[in-house]
Structures are given as C-alpha cells and as structure tokens.
Structure 1
C-alpha cells in the first residue's frame, strides 16, 4: 500500500463512513460510468472503500464480535498474510494463515500494553511450511488508555508494513474513541431520563391514588377509569426502551397526567388543547413535554392563593418544524431566577425539569432549539418547544 493511499485513509475514512460513499467506479460525462483512471487512483479508492467497510463493526467498541467482523477488512487494508486484534487479556480475532501463532501473542505484546509504544518481533515457529516469521504490533488507544493491539504478520521484516500498521491502528483507535463517545452519550441520556423520572413527585403519585380511592364507593366506574389512566401513565413514564418518542405518545401521556390532576382539583383546573394532526408523528426526546406541563400545574394550582388555573397546550405546524406551546396563568417567575435555573444554579431540585429538558433539546438539535420561556412575577409562564419534523438519527419508538 502506498503512503499517499494511507494518508487519504486517515484523513477521509470517517467521512466516507458517515456519508456512505460507493467507491470503485465514477461517473463519466453524459452519465456514462468508467473505471477509475490511474493505478494510484484505483488503489486509493480501494483503500478508502475497504476502510469504510471495516469502520461500522468497530463503532460497537472492541469486542470479540466487532474484532471478528473487522479483522478481514483490516488485513485486506494492510495486504498482509495474517492479522489479529487483541484486548488487554486475550486474542479477540485472528484472520489469515498461521493462527497457531496466536497462542503466544499476548506474551510478545506485554510490554506494548504497558508502554503504549509499537513493537516488532521475530516470530518463527517449528512449522517449516508456515510463512509467518515476523510481526509488527501497534496499540489501540482511547483517551490515552491502551485498550488492545493490532498485530500484523509477514514472512520477513518490512518497514512499509510497520508504518502501515501504525497508521491503521491510529485509524482503528479513532473508531473506538467514537464508539466510546456514543456510549457516553447514551449513558448521559439515560441519566437524564432517570432524573426526570425521579422528578415525578411522590406526592403526585400518592395524591392520585388517594383521589382514585375517594371514588371507589361513590363512583366505581370513575375509579376504574382513573386507575387505568394511572397505570398507563406510569407504564409510559417508566418504560425502559427508546431515547425518543412521538409527539402523539407524549401528548397522550400528558392527557393521562391531566386526568389524574383533574381528579384531585376538579373544576379548579381548565385545560385547552389545540393540536394540528399533521405534527403528531414528529419524533422528539422521551419525557420532553410532561415536565413542562407539570411545571404549569405547579405554578397554576399549587400556590398558596391559587383558586383556579387555566393551561393552554398547542402543537402546531411551523413549516419544517413542529412548535409546542405550554402556557399557564399562574404565579410566574422572576426572570433572573429563571436564568439561574437554566444555568444549573437553581438548587438541587428547583427547576430540574426545565433545565433537563432544555439541555436535552440542545444536545439533540443544537443550541437554536433550547426552550424559549416568557414569564414574570404574577404573569404566568409561556414555554415554547420547537423540534425539526425530520432529523437524521431521531426516530420515535
């Protein structure tokens, strides 16, 4: 493999994986297809194509399965007779001839795992027909931690192969680092959802059950209906799959929540809904709206002097976006206090729902999609949520 091809691999490989390029042929004028022109161009495109095939398994991290799927592509990329991938304890995958060498690989790379520096070593065996006589190993690192190694075998020493192994190992390390970032993002989202679930007030749950119990003797049918609403609401709120949901499912959960609130407050709570059917399938982060409605109820009904509250919820088509507005006529909030909450300075529990939802929207869609909140002391609160109708990687479940 030429040095120029390797340079293109390191620079453009991840972009090709993300963009899904089809390599090996190009379009000539007037729509005709032709073979890649020069041998150098052909070798470069073949290198990039092979790298794009090796990357997806590695994005799952360094496991036995991902190593097995990637090893053949990586060996083809290096043009060597045999290749193995290891973690810090064992050989994960061997591709090519001479797999009996795998029994002593870990002994040969012990120093590399500690130092993080590549190494080459003679590795002749008693089998005179075995072509593998020399090997070069390079570390696979993430955040300065050596996770494992890439080891390539050859019949003789080769400075070109030694350099190529180092370059490919660095490229593999980039894929593993992206996998680690994916896992970190998933853990963060799960932690945020756990925080939102913890925010569902135990007092709300107890009060809902008490309200249901109050109807058992006087209106058994209403009690059964509310009990089903309570079961569906808790089942949705504590579900264990999917980072995203649909606007329809989120609004359905809110309707169940409000039914339970009405059972407690009766006519003191008035809710107006304005929903455009065309936005119901739009995907959005799970438990994104319910904390905002709970905030509206709290500000509207649970103040010391609150006698009645009106909440308006609208979900409208705004071109390329869906716009959800939740508005209450409650006690409102001092704007400086709101700004402190959205900076994470509101205390351990104050405003955790607002902060959590705002951060999640920004993480998924970008800073332009954070919460827009209008409020003032005694002026109620109006919260606007905008989400793109279509976003790659965002799917309701």
Structure 2
C-alpha cells in the first residue's frame, strides 16, 4: 500500500475520533446519533476530495516523471500525430521526400540535426554538420553502418561513439534507428544533438515506425499502379491489332467506290488510336470515353452497314463524372463481335449510363439483341482469354476494376443464346 493511502486512512480515522468526542463525550447531553453520522460523513468527504490520494492520481499540472524520462507535452504529441498523417515519405524514399521529412521532424523530435539515409547513401541532412555530412554521399558515421548491420536502434551518448571522421564535428549525442518495409531494412532515421543529452529513444523509434508504415504504403501504391498499368497495356494490345485489321479492310473497299467516306474513316481511325495511345492516367471524363465509343461504333457501322444499329441513352449528369480509361469500349466491342457479327439480319447495341446519387455510383449498361454468347465462350471472356474472333477478355477488365476500386464495384454479365447479352457495370462516383 502506498504511503499516501496510509496517511489518508489515518487522517480519516482521527477525524471520526474527534467527531465522536465532540458530539458524544464532551457535550451533555450527547447529540443524536444521526447528527454524529452526518458530521462525520461531511468531514470525510471533504478530506477525500481535497487529498491527492493514490486513487485520484497526481494533481493536474504535475508532470509524471521517472529517471531518464523526457517530458513531452500533449500539444507536442498531437503535433507529431498530425505530422505523421501528412508525412512526405508517403510518396516513397526519395531525396526530396527525405529532405522535407527531415525538416518537418527536426523541431518535433528535440534534435539539433536530423538525417535520413537509405542503405547506401545520405538522402537528407538538416542542421549542424550539414557541411560535411553531404547528401548523396555515403554515411560518414560508423553508427549508421552498425544500425544497418544489426537492424536495431543505437543510442550514442559520447561524441567518440558517433564515429564522424571530421575533426570539430558539432554532433555529440544521437539516436539512430532503422527504417523498414516489413522485414526488409531500407534505411535509417538519425536524430543528433550538440550537447550531452541524447534525444528520446522512445520518441525517435515511434516516429521511425510511422515513417516505415508510410514507406510500406508507398510501395503498395507503386505495386498497385504498376499492376494497373500492365493490365491497361495488355488491354490496348488486345484491342488494336484485330480492330485495325478489320477497319483497314473496310477503308480499302470504300476507297474504290467512295473516296470521301474512306478519308473520313481514316480520320476517325486516327482519332481512335490517338486516344488509346495518348490518354494519360487511369481515369477520364465519361464525355471523353463516350466520344471514343461513338468513334469506335461509327467505324464498325461502316463495316457492318445497316446490320449494326446503335441506341444511346446517356444521362447528362454522367458526362462530367470520371470513369476508368478503356472500360466502356471493350464492353461495346464484345457486344458487336460476339452478339451481332454472326447474326444475319444484324441487331441493335444499346449503351445506357446513369448517376445514382443515393448510392453515389455510376451505372453503365451495354445490351444487345444478338445471338448471345455460348457458355464456353463466355467462360473464356470472363477468365481473360480472347475469343476466336479476338474478343476482349472481361477478366482483364474485372482485374483492373478490382485494382482501382477494391470491392467497391460490380460487373455482371448475363447472356442467353438466341436472345442477346446484357452487361452491367457499377463503379463508385468520381
């Protein structure tokens, strides 16, 4: 039991003794028992509330200190938390991101100088010593090499332990801790001071943990972007050769009978491929994708003639939303190739788009009244394989959507042989 608690118990017991003497022994006649109890309870409550006992903890405004601890204010903790949310290293372990991070951390970690390295070179150094701890060079201190080799934090309490070979280096103490992505060490965070009081190890290690988390997220973002890029490139490669071959055949036949129409088709074909090649990023306004789809269908109508009819039902609100690049056109292409190409009398392709404000989604529907897709061909499309006539794999599209949106999308395909096919795509509103 703590001494404070013992003292409080003794004071309460003595108070009750005094109350008993004052109300039952020293007065004649004795006061009623109820009065004695009321007085005793009131005095006990006053003592308990006014005494900083072990149950209440320290009074407000007193800092809880133990030997070797560094007092950190609540405001500083909140500042560090806020800084962690906007850390520049979220973009990756680059020299520019490291410099901005070091400048941000220097006043927060109680250091006179802050440095960030990867496994081979100094990426950033801010503060005293920057004249010889040069960015782009190898770390000048032996401490960094030890931390990278052992993968654990080192606290330096004397200048001689830092291992800087430059005479007159102002750095006296330091905490050097590793930065890691998973189990892979990728660099170090170094906080130096020019006096004999080293920075707080716990604080530096906690910040290194935050930086490591941001580096891991940056790597995941890069992997995700590369995966989306690869799927988009594969989709472009699937579309271009087959479509180009068919359209060029159409243009060749038109050139003999109608040179003007052939020239118009060449212009449209140029617009089509310019869009597929030059479109930057993974998202575009629906209006751009809509124009791209209309260009594609106009080229196909030149090939199929009256056998291909198209109906558009587009909500004007959809035009300014953003959708993934090259998502709608493959759906329309599959409707033409697998739905109408083999139907003698042809058919109609319907493109419908809506914004659902309640679910905050964009709904895109592509339907046709063609021959339908046999189960085996539909299985090929949904598993990523191209059909016999070069159809675009829906599995590729689905993987892109999953990479971009996670589980926040829906792609449904229904097809009946002899009746047609319906594809419904629902994606988050952007």
In which range does the TM-score fall when normalised by the shorter chain? 0.7 to 0.9
1:134 to 148, 164, 173: 173
| Cα distance between partner residues in 1 of 2:301 and 2:167 | 84
The answer to whether the Cα contact below 8 Å between 2:179 and 2:209 also exists between their aligned partners in 1 is: yes
The answer to whether the Cα contact below 8 Å between 2:312 and 2:352 also exists between their aligned partners in 1 is: yes
Q: Residue in 2 aligned with 1:108?
A: 143
After superposition, the C-alpha distances for 1:278-334 in whole angstroms (9 at most, x for unaligned) are 21111111111011011101112333x644122111123433333221111223235
Q: Secondary structure at the match of 2:99?
A: helix
Q: Residue in 1 aligned with 2:353?
A: 315
| Cα distance between partner residues in 2 of 1:65 and 1:160 | 25
User: Does the C-alpha gap of structure 1 residues 159 and 378 become closer, same or farther in structure 2, counting only changes over 3 Å?
Assistant: farther
User: Does the C-alpha gap of structure 1 residues 61 and 327 become closer, same or farther in structure 2, counting only changes over 3 Å?
Assistant: same
| Cα distance between partner residues in 1 of 2:409 and 2:375 | 19
Q: Secondary structure at the match of 1:76?
A: coil
After superposition, the C-alpha distances for 1:212-255 in whole angstroms (9 at most, x for unaligned) are 12222321211111111000001111225111011111111111
Q: Secondary structure at the match of 1:272?
A: strand
The alpha-carbon deviation at position 264 of structure 1 amounts to 1.4
The answer to whether the Cα contact below 8 Å between 2:239 and 2:392 also exists between their aligned partners in 1 is: no
**Range with greater deviation from structure 2 (57-66 or 153-162):** 153-162
Q: Residue in 1 aligned with 2:98?
A: 67
The yes-or-no answer on 1:379 pairing with 2:426 is no
Mapping 1:4-83, distance limit 5 Å: 40-53=73-86, 55=87, 57-83=88-114
1:294 to 320, 333, 337: 333
Q: Residue in 1 aligned with 2:284?
A: 245
The answer to whether the Cα contact below 8 Å between 1:50 and 1:77 also exists between their aligned partners in 2 is: no
| Cα distance between partner residues in 2 of 1:372 and 1:354 | 10
| Cα distance between partner residues in 2 of 1:127 and 1:336 | 73
User: Does the C-alpha gap of structure 1 residues 107 and 378 become closer, same or farther in structure 2, counting only changes over 3 Å?
Assistant: farther
| Cα distance between partner residues in 2 of 1:149 and 1:202 | 49
Q: Residue in 2 aligned with 1:26?
A: none
| Cα distance between partner residues in 2 of 1:265 and 1:287 | 23
After superposition, the C-alpha distances for 1:46-83 in whole angstroms (9 at most, x for unaligned) are 33334345x0x211111111111111111222111111
1:163 to 202, 220, 236: 202
Q: Which runs of 4+ in 1 moved over 6 A?
A: 124-129, 348-351
User: Does the C-alpha gap of structure 1 residues 300 and 52 become closer, same or farther in structure 2, counting only changes over 3 Å?
Assistant: closer
The answer to whether the Cα contact below 8 Å between 1:215 and 1:222 also exists between their aligned partners in 2 is: yes
After superposition, the C-alpha distances for 1:114-149 in whole angstroms (9 at most, x for unaligned) are 332222342276988754112221111113222111
The alpha-carbon deviation at position 168 of structure 1 amounts to 1.3
Q: Residue in 2 aligned with 1:28?
A: none
Q: Residue in 1 aligned with 2:188?
A: 149
TM-score when scaled to structure 2?
A: 0.73
Count of residue pairs the alignment pairs up:
349
**Range with greater deviation from structure 2 (287-296 or 323-332):** 323-332
- Cα RMSD after superposing both structures: 2.8
| Cα distance between partner residues in 1 of 2:165 and 2:381 | 70
The alpha-carbon deviation at position 108 of structure 1 amounts to 3.4
| Cα distance between partner residues in 2 of 1:210 and 1:130 | 76
The alpha-carbon deviation at position 381 of structure 1 amounts to 0.7
Q: What are the ranges of 5 or more consecutive residues in structure 1 without an aligned counterpart?
A: 1-36, 391-397
User: Does the C-alpha gap of structure 1 residues 119 and 42 become closer, same or farther in structure 2, counting only changes over 3 Å?
Assistant: closer
The answer to whether the Cα contact below 8 Å between 2:143 and 2:176 also exists between their aligned partners in 1 is: no
TM-score when scaled to structure 1?
A: 0.79
